[in-house]
Structure 1
């Protein structure tokens, strides 16, 4: 049992996999934050267009 544990501690593949997982998680968080900003900008633009179309339909 101890030899398996010692072999796992010497294995650097697990450390690399953990580093890749952390980098991937960081990239995912950055993408989510960026997409949230894009969503807010697009939503505001479309709401403005909707308001202008409503104003045009109602007439003077």
Structure 2
């Protein structure tokens, strides 16, 4: 997924060489970074919640 975002951003860089295009590219890169950090955070939180629920389940057995 991250490679598709990178390809999209690179395509935008080729199309827009003016300052307006540069600003759009910067926004695209920021958006890609936010998406990557969000995915990592949700994955980490999901693993922590899963471990906690496993511990609770083991205590109930």
TM over 0.5, shorter chain: yes
Structure 1 segments of 4 or more deviating over 3 A?
none
* 1:52 equivalenced with 2:55 (yes/no): no
Unaligned 5+ residue runs, structure 1? 1-7, 55-60
* Corresponding residue number in structure 1 for 2:36: 29
Selected match of 2:19 from 2, 5, 12:
12
Aligned residues: 46
Segments of 5+ residues of structure 2 without an aligned counterpart are 1-15
Deviation at 1:34, TM superposition (A): 1.1
Q: Which structure has the greater CA radius of gyration?
A: 1
> Structure 2-normalised TM-score?
0.67
Question: RMSD between aligned alpha carbons?
Answer: 1.3
TM-score (norm 1): 0.68
